[in-house]
Structure 1
């Protein structure tokens, strides 16, 4: 793309393809689950299956990203999940689709996603220069949001209603295309040869020590983990609050898909405006403000369960979520040494995302016995507490005026 080089263009195009596939699965899988069961516990297992690989495999995938050619890892991961979903498509077309096949498909696609995503975040700093990282991450985030939510979400709603088997076949084709596009990137994306000579256990331990001793990264990881735990519980059962005649909102599947389209509209804006907002208010203040307001907005669909309030709320979720994501990823890429990037990113995401399957499963159980409102309001409270604790932990380092607020790298603390 303009100003970022040919290799980044192929990486961006591959990201767009794979995230369109992600969007189809992310929205389509819960909708398929709702058509198979109305049990909150069983529906929440879809979210748990999608994120469980992060809990089990993140550290090992990060170590692989610091040993192997990162582009090749991404190619193989995309082709593997394409093959898996092609097989599931054949089974679904034969009339064998049930909840357990759906869970298996989501789980296996999630395994490949862990390797692909961790290598992608590690390969980007090898593709563009340091000063271009925030801009490049903004472009990548925009592609992710458009694919996941702006296009993939409404398309998933239509496919579930018309041809459920295509929900697996279309992502299979898109993942294959994403893998092949990466072959257009020039150069090598392997770490130093010495990195391959160390025991993998030592590599993982080194990453955990680095993350644990770095004040800002540690605080961000713990806060992200708590918020992701709560959000997984919230959105793991939210489809039951929103979709169906017996739900609080009474939305149809296609209308539910439009919610994530609204999210994507905001996310595109948030991705592009993140750098400007950080320049005005400081990275840390912008990030904490985005997380705080996003948590408060979780209450809106509970207090006013209407499509007319849900869609604008989803737009704001997109703006705030994408802006925060761009700032966190850019900060990690600057603060983590290049030779540790894959492993420390994996350790961070283990903390940040490893709690998601636990949150999704717990949300389903709580909703089964205490009702959906208990999960939705409880998740909001957890997010607010997590953001408040992070602000308190680092408030002594961000007392400067807003116009000269420090960047995350300025307040990095102990390494």
Structure 2
């Protein structure tokens, strides 16, 4: 468990950095422009790397030492953001420089996060996956929202360059913590996936015994002694895509996640214009917007404490559908009743439902996918699940310019509900009990 403790600590710091950037970038953008299309570009820059690089990142994670990838990605983000912060200190920051820095940082994030999800089953026994993912999701939520979001609201008001500089320092510290993980974390190659043979039965979220990873060793099984890869990068990517495509349940889960992420990306790309600044419907200050994200984190933290009971009571499938349905419907509330008294309780519920759904989805994927394919199939899944986010954010900006922010917010809810409808048909595919 030593390796997991270092992984968790590194994740806590890097997600604190993510939280400052996630909230600070649109807040900085609003100080540079009030155009919905230009503000939405902040969301595009944050998520576009997932669309472009998710598949190569997954193939690299299955070829190389996953810890080393994470260390290099964090070092790159640290150097980049500290350098841009020093430039911003001179007063020369423009929207395009900001977007470029976020785009490059997001590129490193794709490699770091893909390796992080793939390395976790190599640090804990398979029967502790849900527990470990719950701790990681909790650290992500607290770092992103409970601390990072209000910190971003304060920094953008008193020291804007720190929106970039502080995350840079945090990424550097996160990379150093990963050096404390002993052993090698290069996975053993998986058996080739035949062109037309199906993956494990589409209706079962269980793992054959041969696919259970050797967890808790910190050595990736036979990864160090494995023969060199002979396939091309494109061949490795193709294996991951074929596995996901053949697995009907995973494929449907990926598409449903993608629809919810597109809807949420579109919603929050322009939501800042709905609630922040003079002339907005709520006229919140940047600091108050950060506090809204703190309310989200409080809900997520509270949800993590009761998550096992909720999932045990409702079952994984029903809890996932219920969480996604509730969070989607609640997106309407701040639009119909634009008041902080409505927004803050809703943010708490968003946080709780987000925690429950994330733990279920991530643990299910880690149970199903063989260790040697985990990076590639995860990246293929996340390409579908997250690749549409820059498209959603970009379309939100264009629609907001043409028909107003309100139309974007309502349309986003409709997209999210379509994803809920799709996954609701797959409830029987979840195992009755988590393994």
- The TM-score with structure 2 as length reference comes to 0.90
List per-residue Cα deviations over 1:260-283 (Å, max 9, x = no partner). Answer: 000001111223333322222111
Q: Is the 2:65–2:187 contact (alpha carbons within 8 Å) kept by the matching residues of 1?
A: yes
Q: Give 1:264's aligned residue.
A: 297
**Correspondence for 2:24 among 28, 37, 41:** 28
Q: Is the 2:67–2:119 contact (alpha carbons within 8 Å) kept by the matching residues of 1?
A: yes
Distance 1:385 1:169 in 2: 39
Q: Is the 1:60–1:204 contact (alpha carbons within 8 Å) kept by the matching residues of 2?
A: yes
List per-residue Cα deviations over 1:350-382 (Å, max 9, x = no partner). Answer: 000000000000001101111111000111011
Q: Is the 1:284–1:408 contact (alpha carbons within 8 Å) kept by the matching residues of 2?
A: no
Q: Is the 1:274–1:324 contact (alpha carbons within 8 Å) kept by the matching residues of 2?
A: no
Alpha-carbon deviation of 1:243?
0.2
Distance 2:140 2:92 in 1: 31
Distance 1:272 1:106 in 2: 33
Distance 1:261 1:397 in 2: 34
Does residue 210 (structure 1) correspond to residue 210 (structure 2)? The answer is: no
Q: Give 1:52's aligned residue.
A: 48
Question: Where in structure 1 are there 5+ consecutive unaligned residues?
Answer: 399-404, 410-415
Deviates more, 1:207-216 or 1:269-278: 269-278
Alpha-carbon deviation of 1:250?
0.8
Instruction: Provide the aligned C-alpha RMSD in A.
Output: 1.3
Q: Is the 2:332–2:413 contact (alpha carbons within 8 Å) kept by the matching residues of 1?
A: yes
Q: Is the 1:47–1:360 contact (alpha carbons within 8 Å) kept by the matching residues of 2?
A: yes
The equivalences for 1:92-103 within 5 A come to 92-103=88-99
Q: Is the 1:66–1:339 contact (alpha carbons within 8 Å) kept by the matching residues of 2?
A: yes
List per-residue Cα deviations over 1:194-240 (Å, max 9, x = no partner). Answer: 46332111111111111111121111100010111111010000000
Of Structure 1 and Structure 2, the greater helix share is in: 1
Distance 2:258 2:303 in 1: 21
Q: How many residues align?
A: 398
Q: Is the 1:274–1:327 contact (alpha carbons within 8 Å) kept by the matching residues of 2?
A: no
Does residue 243 (structure 1) correspond to residue 276 (structure 2)? The answer is: yes
Alpha-carbon deviation of 1:397?
5.5
Does residue 160 (structure 1) correspond to residue 156 (structure 2)? The answer is: yes
Distance 1:249 1:407 in 2: 44
Distance 1:27 1:391 in 2: 32
Q: Is the 2:13–2:174 contact (alpha carbons within 8 Å) kept by the matching residues of 1?
A: yes
**Correspondence for 1:174 among 155, 170, 180:** 170
Q: Is the 1:142–1:272 contact (alpha carbons within 8 Å) kept by the matching residues of 2?
A: no
**Correspondence for 2:326 among 293, 312, 330:** 293
Pair 1:14–1:395, CA change in 2 (3 A): closer
Distance 2:227 2:303 in 1: 40
Alpha-carbon deviation of 1:389?
2.2
Q: Is the 1:122–1:341 contact (alpha carbons within 8 Å) kept by the matching residues of 2?
A: yes
Pair 1:342–1:242, CA change in 2 (3 A): same
